[in-house]
Structure 1
Amino acid sequence: MLPSASVESKTSWAVASVALAILGMSFGAGWITAVALKDIASEVGGSRSVPALAGALAWLGSGIGGILMSRIAERIGTRSTVIFGSLMIGLGLTISTLGPPWPLWIGHGLFIGLIGLGGINAPLYIYVSRWFDRRRGSALALISSGTYVAGAFWPPIFEQVIASYGWRQAMLWYTLAEIVVVAPLAAIYFRTPPELVLPAAASGASSNKARVLGWPPNAVFVLMCCAAILCCIPMAMPQGHLVAFCSDLGISRSMGALMLSVLLGTAFLSRQIWGVISDRIGGLATVLIGSAWQAASMTTFLLTQNEAGLFTVAAAFGLGFSGIIPAYVLAVRELFPASEASWRIPTLLLFSGGGMAAGSWLAGLLYDHLGNYAPAFAVGIGANILNVLIIGVLVGRKPHHTVAYRSVL
């Protein structure tokens, strides 16, 4: 496509910025449980797997719901699914205050995850990607930072509110704030995107003949989905358990919440750099570098026990993992046609969300049985190494095989 025919404009970046703000508010709902993990666990005999499962169900529900809600967004528009999702997140937080355990699990899994974030996260990835053709990697990196904006900004605030008023009141107040911000922004800014998406038959490549990296397209996609699970298992562990982990080491919850903010704030800032890098070297290569960095920094959590060291490790972890998920999405857009984005992107996000869910829950479960987080972190590192091997194989094939699919812009 000639540069003059680019779909990008100032409006594209305005839409991406609004999407970032909406995701920052929407994902804020899940961080209340992470900050209040020990408070909630104290109501169920100290079992950390109970609140950890709530966070896991929210991630898993978001992935499953993203497939369904992305299809619905294709029919009725992303604006409608985002507004609906914001209302369901508020309802899920309200229901969660009636627990634990079951109201907490239902509120997070069904309402916050499945029909809340499911109506917002994956549909926005697809929607925003259609506003860009030159700097799509940078745009995806920006909007996918929503969870990190939420994680950098909200935990210290939640810690203060929870300490003063309790975790239930924090959820109820956040319900009001989330709906008031998200619904009007979506109503005002989200209109039909400019990218023309042609039917698969018109793209010039039949799915049963075209090959990607020299292999059948779905075989490559399955490997990408498996790799997404494996990289997200370790990714979720520090995010969901860092505050509790610090508390076990005698570090105050306020410092733990601040450390979580440092981790996710660093992730937000570095993700923008990863976006620029991915525009230059491609999605798969960016995933490989970020995954290797994540494995190395995850290992240092096993070697560090003091407060200053953990702040450094948290920042390093944020630097490494932050570029992985948007790079996966970019790789999908690079390797497969735009007409398949509405199901491939949410399917990939389902597997990454499943990995996040497994990592968060597994860390809580292993802690309950073994009394510390070291075994869970070791399992996460093992999963990360397998992820690096899979992505390494795919990247290794790229110089030798022409990609048959191209995005239709």
Structure 2
Amino acid sequence: MSHRTSGEKFYFGWYIVLISCMITLLTVGTRLGIGPFFKPMADELGVSRTFLSFVISVGMLAYGAGMPVAGKLVERYGTRFVLLSGLGMITVATLWTIWTADTVSFFLAYGILLSFGLAFTSPVAMTPVISKWFTRQRGRALFYLSTGAMAGIAVMTPVFQWLIGWIGWRDTLLVLDIVFIVILIPSAIWIIRDEAPAGTDLLPGQLASSHLSQTLSANQMIPLVDWKGALRTKPFWNIAAGLFVCGFSMNVLGSHGVPMLTDHGFSEMTASFGVGLIGIVAVGSTVVLGSLSDKLPRKNLLSLIYLIRGIGFLLIAVVMTPWQLYLVSVMGGLAWAGSTALSSAILGDVYGVRWVGVLYGWTYFVHQIGAAVGSFLAGWGYETFGTHLPSFGLTALLLAAASLLSFYLPVQVRYANHLQPSAHSSVSGSR
């Protein structure tokens, strides 16, 4: 199959982006769309919300721990090997989960093995191949990958709720695994390919300006001998702290949003649609934010995202009617996307693209620690206080703190348009 250059009608790299978005939709939707499973699993297995929150929390850690492993295996064996390995683990974990009623086996299968397998089909596995295929439009392509993650929340949460009501949670997991098989096997064999054409998607005359921009921006960055040097600088920890709160907030909502809303008197479908609406709106806002991130200071945009998200957490815990829920969901969706994409871009601005992969990997692991802590604390808080209000209030406070930390990140320098500032921005004096 001809790869086509960017000057022709369609560049083959966009097929890779499209299928990567679909895989990301399934993966992130499975990982963050836990809410509809929560009560049915707890009731059928006869476990407490605290125990199930613990299982989910460990799963978040396993998901995060699997990401650097997946990244290393992509480098050594290629994307196809990692995707098919992940599919194998997902299939084994799914069958193990639906055939067991033992809580220890459930913990090992659903909590650990499924989560580790999902890390192998996560955006971390897809980012390297997209980065190889795109130079001129790399930011746009990676933001589309984030759109797949947002679509996962929007699509999978109500779909899971509908399927669980129809066939039960065990058969819903089986259907999910079949969908993974149908999409991943042909995609890994015929579409995903690590070898990009020479020049990727660059237009004639852009290669020289791209190199010039990299030379200019290198003089503005915080110099590092190796990636460990970033651990001694404030921007790294500001970003890591923000991503901790990002993971905390996303999984408080993903794991406990639907149960909280049903406890407040909303029907299961209304609650699921309310949470899913956040993802629907976030799909569009991701594209807009991708454009704005090249025009506005990224640290200001990241700060605003955290602030709006914090306000949304306060409001969603006190809404009384469906229209209020949907209004808050729309507002939250506008700020739900972009925090991880902006964080990785800022890491590149501050420390250079050479180190962005390993630094983003470690900060995303911190994100997953936040996810584990948030998911567990929300379940523990409900059983301790009899309400989700303390956990959602705490989340709002943490997001306000993340907003403040992000505001004090360095500001990227911008160059002339012909030097492609969106791909090669850097930072000014603040260190």
Match of 2:50 in 1: 49
Shift in Å at residue 123 of structure 1?
2.1
Shift in Å at residue 5 of structure 1?
10
How far, CA to CA, are the matches of 2:137 and 2:350 in structure 1? Answer: 16
How far, CA to CA, are the matches of 1:282 and 1:61 in structure 2? Answer: 34
How far, CA to CA, are the matches of 2:102 and 2:335 in structure 1? Answer: 34
How far, CA to CA, are the matches of 1:99 and 1:137 in structure 2? Answer: 45
1:280 is aligned, of 272, 278, 295, to 295
How far, CA to CA, are the matches of 1:263 and 1:100 in structure 2? Answer: 35
Match of 1:80 in 2: 81
1:268 aligns with 2:283: yes
Letter in 1 for 2:240: C
Shift in Å at residue 391 of structure 1?
1.0
- Taking the TM superposition and a 5 Å limit, the aligned residue runs for 1:29-48 are 29-30=30-31, 33-43=34-44, 45=46, 47-48=48-49
SS at match of 1:115: helix
Q: CA 1:340–1:363 in 2, change beyond 3 Å: closer, same or farther?
A: same
Q: Which moved more, 1:239-248 or 1:49-58?
A: 49-58
How far, CA to CA, are the matches of 1:297 and 1:344 in structure 2? Answer: 29
How far, CA to CA, are the matches of 1:294 and 1:209 in structure 2? Answer: 30
1:166 aligns with 2:186: no
Match of 1:255 in 2: 270
SS at match of 1:146: helix
How far, CA to CA, are the matches of 1:58 and 1:48 in structure 2? Answer: 15
How far, CA to CA, are the matches of 1:314 and 1:296 in structure 2? Answer: 11
Letter in 2 for 1:175: D
Q: CA 1:278–1:58 in 2, change beyond 3 Å: closer, same or farther?
A: farther
Contact 2:278 2:336 in 1 (8 A): no
Contact 1:297 1:320 in 2 (8 A): no
1:299 aligns with 2:300: no
Contact 2:33 2:255 in 1 (8 A): no
SS at match of 1:279: coil
- Taking the TM superposition and a 5 Å limit, the aligned residue runs for 1:13-28 are 13-28=14-29
SS at match of 2:237: helix
Q: CA 1:96–1:283 in 2, change beyond 3 Å: closer, same or farther?
A: farther
Q: How many residue pairs were aligned?
A: 390
Match of 1:106 in 2: 108
Shift in Å at residue 181 of structure 1?
1.0
Match of 1:385 in 2: 400
Contact 1:29 1:171 in 2 (8 A): no
Q: Which moved more, 1:216-225 or 1:139-148?
A: 216-225
1:340 aligns with 2:355: yes
Unmatched segments (≥5 aa) in structure 1 = 197-201, 405-409
How far, CA to CA, are the matches of 1:40 and 1:363 in structure 2? Answer: 17
- Taking the TM superposition and a 5 Å limit, the aligned residue runs for 1:64-213 are 64-97=65-98, 98-99=100-101, 101-192=103-194, 194=196, 210=223
Q: CA 1:321–1:301 in 2, change beyond 3 Å: closer, same or farther?
A: same
How far, CA to CA, are the matches of 2:253 and 2:21 in structure 1? Answer: 23
Q: Which moved more, 1:151-160 or 1:126-135?
A: 126-135
Contact 1:301 1:310 in 2 (8 A): yes
1:316 is aligned, of 331, 352, 356, to 331
| C-alpha RMSD over aligned residues | 3.2
Match of 1:227 in 2: 242
Match of 1:11 in 2: 12
Using the size of structure 2 for normalisation, the TM-score is: 0.81
Shift in Å at residue 231 of structure 1?
2.8
**Taking every aligned residue pair, what percent have the same amino acid on both sides?**
20
Contact 1:16 1:128 in 2 (8 A): yes
Shift in Å at residue 73 of structure 1?
0.6
Q: Deviations over 1:149-181 (max 9, x none)?
A: 222222333223212321111111211121221
Q: Which moved more, 1:167-176 or 1:88-97?
A: 88-97
Shift in Å at residue 336 of structure 1?
3.2
Match of 1:373 in 2: 388
How far, CA to CA, are the matches of 1:209 and 1:138 in structure 2? Answer: 25
How far, CA to CA, are the matches of 1:101 and 1:83 in structure 2? Answer: 28
SS at match of 1:69: helix
